[in-house]
Amino acid sequence: MESLWNDAEAANFQGDLALRVYTSRLLGRDKSLVLHGGGNTSVKIRERDLVGEERDILYVKGSGWDLEFIEEAGFPGVHLDHLLQLSQLKVLSDPQMVNELQTHMTRASAPAPSVETILHALLPYRYVDHTHADAVLAITNTGNGETRIRELYGDQVVVIPYVMPGFDLARLCAERFPAERRASTIGMVLMNHGVFSFGDTARESYERMIRLVQQAEDYLAAHGAWELPPAPTRAPRTSRRAQIADLRREVVRIAGFPLVMRAHQTPRAIAFADRPDVAHLSQQGPATPDHVIRTKRVPLLGSDVNRYAADYRAYFERHAPRAREPKTMLDAAPRVVLDPNLGLCTAGRSAKDAAIVADLYSHTMDVIERATALGGYQALPERDIFDVEYWDLEQAKLRKSGTAPQFSGEVALVTGAASGIGKACVRSLLARGAAVIGVDIKQDVANVHSGTEFLGIVCDVTDAATVSAAIERGVGTFGGIDMLVLNAGVFDGGQMIAALGDDEWRKVMGINLDANLTLMRECHPLLKLAPQGGRVVIIGSKNVRAPGPGAAAYSASKAALSQLGRVAALEWGGDGIRVNVLHPNAVFDTGIWNDDVLAARAAHYGISVEDYRRRNVLRTEVTSRDVAELAAEMCGALFAKTTGAQIPVDGGNERVI
């Protein structure tokens, strides 16, 4: 563990709060210190307010901010004198505490101050840093953790036994810290929770944190507990998509709402799941209460989701009467699954959430394995875990994260996703909260979207092996395929039948028709498992109903594709899969059209380009986005009772009408 302090970098941060931002980001950069919004930092600054009064203000990390990316706006200022008075109270309920923090801020628009604000206030140092460092947890979470921590740190830290974060913890520290601090004290260890450091400057406080964590790492190394057990170099390569999709289906059934599932078949995860003592190690509880909301108390081992749910309900029943607000909805579905074949699988309402859960559990595995090597991992009693999992303040945060978007937790696959209608479909589905697998023969499919919710795969849809590999990868990343948008296609440039060669005909049929049969056949078992029922949207063409001369292969391929879709609607209705066909026409913002081609076609009809664009009954232009929005809606609740339909999206065409 090295200090990342850099004088040149630090010079860009002028002032006490700016330096607080800088070293907070340094902590955030190291994932073994803090993860995904974990940890918090503060600085105390004397300021003159608008009426000329000098006030001490505590700037502390606000909720919703991640240390790695925090800015000054992420630190609400709270009146320090009031916080110190609060710390002297005998009791303060959570709602009261939240109210006091929020009504004593200097900026009404600032985020809510951390629940650990009062604790930061009462530590008599300018800068205070707090992390949930893996190395410290690996020592505290053992049978004789407190003895070890004292032996390791001596008077450098004050040790506080575990108490749930919030006012009670602040109250205990207010009592213990002044009594137990010595001249050499530079930090505080909260058992089974994390570590604090403090100092006069941002750098001093930060570097003391690094020093304390380095000492913990050295201690683990000296006790043969730092090196993680070796993992096999390569995971066996077999198809696991059916197993992953089945597992996701079961987890979603228990949860009652769709979830994305990510399979991390890393050698390390597989080795952990394969440990003979994995049941003993993994079923005790999380490394820090900070993780429990997202990971749940324990992972599912193997695939018996019903058994997990029954155990979870029993755990809830054992402790629920103690919950301060037992109105909470019970959700007994696991978020972490350990399986020797699949490795680590994680579930979340979005791909991002599932990825966060995976990060949290990866660090949990490190802590558990090191604590085990040190003499035995020991998590908190389950009652303490429950208190955090169903803590009013955490539940309030969950509620605040609000109503889920339309396709939250669902997965779509779009072909021809790199441009035109396909790219627009990716956007429309992402905007509705879906995770999207985009396939295209073009390399730039990878760049259609940069977030965790999108996976771009270069794939020739006419090559069955490549299609199968793409589906395997897509299911490993998101857990299934619930929606399939068959959009990839080519237009043969206006060949009359008399001149149409066999090769050209076969090429168009291969892409526009045959490839879609392969895709539908490969995706059918997955669509069958879709939690809300599978949906297929086929991008047809106006040419199906109103063909024109010179596009025989294109028109015939799209007509056959529509017929394939209609048969699929009949065959798959019993599986709850809806199949509908859209017939766009004259969508000019796609790859095959450019200004020259448009001008030439307009000239051909003797009209302006503007008129040519709107050559339909409604005199309106049809864009890729229009088609994509309809395709996305066809997958939604509005069309829940519709299958086998053929819907034009063409501004009205006289020959079709």
Using CB under 5 A as the criterion, which residues of the chain lie in contact with Zn ion when the complex forms?
Answer: 194
CA–CA dist 214, 518 (Å, integer):
55
CA–CA dist 512, 186 (Å, integer):
69
DSSP 8-state symbol, 116: T
Residues facing 46 on adjacent strands = 56
Minimum gap (Å) between residue 117 Cβ and Zn ion: 12
CA–CA dist 9, 4 (Å, integer):
10
Q: Which is nearer to Zn ion, 44 or 193 (CB)?
A: 193
Dig out the tokens for 427 from the structure. Answer: 């956007």
Residue 567's alpha-carbon distances to 414, 519, 533, 560, in angstroms, are 21, 15, 18, 11
Q: DSSP letter string over 311-323?
A: HHHHHHHHHGGG-
Minimum gap (Å) between residue 159 Cβ and Zn ion: 15
Dig out the tokens for 46 from the structure. Answer: 């004397």
Which residue has its beta carbon closest to Zn ion? 194
DSSP 8-state symbol, 581: E
Q: Which is nearer to Zn ion, 290 or 482 (CB)?
A: 290
In three-state secondary structure terms, 15 is coil
Q: Which is nearer to Zn ion, 194 or 476 (CB)?
A: 194
Q: Kindly state the greatest CA–CA separation across the chain.
A: 98
Minimum gap (Å) between residue 119 Cβ and Zn ion: 9
By DSSP bridging, strand 343-348 and strand 336-339 are antiparallel
Which parts of 116-181 are beta strand (E)?
Answer: 127-131, 157-160
CA–CA dist 277, 46 (Å, integer):
54
CA–CA dist 98, 209 (Å, integer):
28
Q: Which is nearer to Zn ion, 113 or 194 (CB)?
A: 194
Q: Which is nearer to Zn ion, 62 or 194 (CB)?
A: 194
Residue 554 annotated as catalytic = yes
Q: Which is nearer to Zn ion, 285 or 456 (CB)?
A: 285
Minimum gap (Å) between residue 166 Cβ and Zn ion: 11
> Given its phi and psi angles, is residue 194 left (phi above 0), alpha (psi -120 to 50 degrees) or beta?
left
- Catalytic residue, chosen from 153, 312, 377, 554, is 554
Minimum gap (Å) between residue 41 Cβ and Zn ion: 11
- Upper half-sphere CA count for residue 376 (Cβ side, 13 Å): 5
CA–CA dist 15, 46 (Å, integer):
12
Minimum gap (Å) between residue 204 Cβ and Zn ion: 21
Q: Which is nearer to Zn ion, 92 or 128 (CB)?
A: 128
Minimum gap (Å) between residue 407 Cβ and Zn ion: 34
In the block, tokens 């669902």 appear at 410
CA–CA dist 262, 61 (Å, integer):
30
| Distance between start and end Cα atoms, the chain | 71
Minimum gap (Å) between residue 422 Cβ and Zn ion: 45
Q: Which is nearer to Zn ion, 166 or 194 (CB)?
A: 194
Catalytic residues: 554
